[in-house]
Copies of this chain bind each other. A is one copy, B any other.
Amino acid sequence: MHKTFIALLVGIVAVATFSNWQVQTTALTTPPNVVLIFMDDMGYGDLGCYGASNYQTPHIDQVAAEGMRFTNFLAAQPVCSASRAGLLTGCYPNRIGIYGALFPRVKMGINASETTMAELLKTKGYATAIFGKWHLGDHPSFLPLQHGFDEYVGLPYSNDMWPVVTHINSEEQKRRRAAFPFLPLIQGNDTLRSIQTLEDQAQLTGIYTQRAVDFIAKNKKKPFFLYVPHSMPHVPIAASAAFRGKSKQGLYGDVMQEIDWSVGEIMKALKKNGLDKNTLVIFTSDNGPWFNYGNHAGSAGGLREGKGSTYEGGNRVPCLVRWPGQIPAGTVCTQLASTIDLFPTIAQICQATLPTQKIDGVDITPILKGNLQASPRKYFYYYHRRNNLEAVRRDNWKLVLPHEGRSYEGQTPGRDGMGGLAPENHPYPLALFDLNRDPGERYDVQAIYPDIVAELQQVAETARQDLGDDITNRTGKNVRLAGILK
């Protein structure tokens, strides 16, 4: 009875706020262009508008000031390939069989039967391009051109999957040097050039940016989807000469300032081509900071843990969404949402039809229109590793399920790397966190909210029936397979 009343009340307020914004927004004529900028290992605290204090991100902060800034936005999983699989399909990555980070020459990748965001928008006549890191399989059959993209220039996997990295131990280096003599920069389905030195890596942000700017100019007469998944600031980090030594936070700050420059260039290109108003710009990240690498990693902004952990520091990332006249400027959305929600949201905005296969994302256009009081997303499943269900969430309540996971805490980070110092099998017991009052996940409140623990245990059970759980040896009913090379 009480719950119903509250729900009703929230509903009324939500409708009132929504209508209010509806009046203020201008009528939508043609579906907008979509520009999706995706960072690699950039943490929740790594932008000026999220509190970074030792370097400047004015162009990115301007996107925030002109659009909506999210404070409870979760990557699909806290690791590269899985996170990207979720972003591009609107599915929990384990639903479509993509786990962890795919290594070079692995015999799997995204299944041809899945619909990517590029394929979705192709149905509406969009020109599509990706300039940056793919990481959903490096065999040609898994590369972007076979999954909805018209154009592709970028790395097929992470920029540390090459031989001359400085941040791994020498035995590992030897093995990799033999296996992968260089990092291929792909154009279409072929290698355009080899990336062999840190100086080569330092050119990547510039290369992706130039391609993006050219693509915008070339396609100004038709709708387009531009996906820019940067290789930076994933280790080994590198900045071009124009940016080196320019920040107060060493190389990491320099790299972030170059990324900020890149965002500025893309925004400038949109304005120059008269596309500023009818372009939906989204800026987010694949997971939190990789603390293994000392001051070559970013900041989780006070959240617990980082990349590779399902504590908030691993999953929660900055997210900015800008669309003048449609999304109220300078707003902050504190409600729960995820990268997997972008797929159905973009489908709604661009009037594209969703695939018939089940997806997990929910349409968050009500939030973008200004209803900041509630989210269409009520639950989130924190899966990690192969198929481990490590936590579940309802609104602000997060139940951490017993599991073994990565822990950076208690370790001493190095100046330029603390590789190997984060144990992967740290035991985490059951714990309940109220993320509204305790976003840092410091105070376990299971003892005083047994009702919420019980409710979330049921949510976990629902997740297991649907997607399985390797920790409890459960098999999910509704999982699909990744693409496998014959």
Contacts and interface: CB of A to CB of B under 8 A. Distances in A.
A376 interface: no
Nearest to A415: B448
A332 interface: yes
A265 interface: no
Contact of A444 (B335, B412, B435): B412
A1 to B, nearest CB: 13
A74 B303 CA distance: 20
Interface string A52-68: 11101000010011000
Given A299-B437, A436-B299, A438-B299, A372 B412 contact: no
A330 to B, nearest CB: 4
Nearest to A443: B413
A440 B436 CA distance: 16
Given A248-B6, A445-B412, A445-B413, A440 B334 contact: no
Interface stretch (A43-51, A139-147, A197-205): A43-51
A323 B245 CA distance: 34
A457 interface: no
A447 B294 CA distance: 13
Contacts of A309: none
A51 B65 contact: no
Number of copies: 2
A439 interface: yes
Contacts of A355: none
B299 A439 contact: yes
Interface string A415-459: 100000000000000000011111110111101110000000000
A214 interface: no
Contacts of A335: 53
Contact of A9 (B246, B291, B439): B246
A49 B332 contact: yes
Contacts of A412: 443-445, 447-448
Given A53-B336, A330-B330, 6 more contacts: A65-B331, A295-B437, A297-B437, A300-B440, A412-B444, A440-B440
Interface of A: 6, 9-10, 45, 48-49, 51-54, 56, 61, 64-65, 71-72, 245-246, 248-249, 291, 294-295, 297-304, 329-332, 334-336, 372-373, 395-396, 408-409, 411-415, 434-440, 442-445, 447-449
Which 6 pairs of residues, A with B, have the shortest CB-CB distance?
A: A302-B302, A53-B334, A65-B330, A302-B440, A51-B71, A302-B439
29 contacts: A6-B245, A6-B248, A9-B246, A10-B248, A45-B437, A48-B332, A48-B334, A51-B71, A51-B72, A52-B334, A53-B71, A53-B72, A53-B336, A53-B435, A53-B436, A54-B395, A54-B436, A56-B372, A61-B332, A65-B65, A65-B331, A249-B436, A299-B439, A301-B302, A301-B440, A304-B442, A412-B447, A414-B448, A440-B440
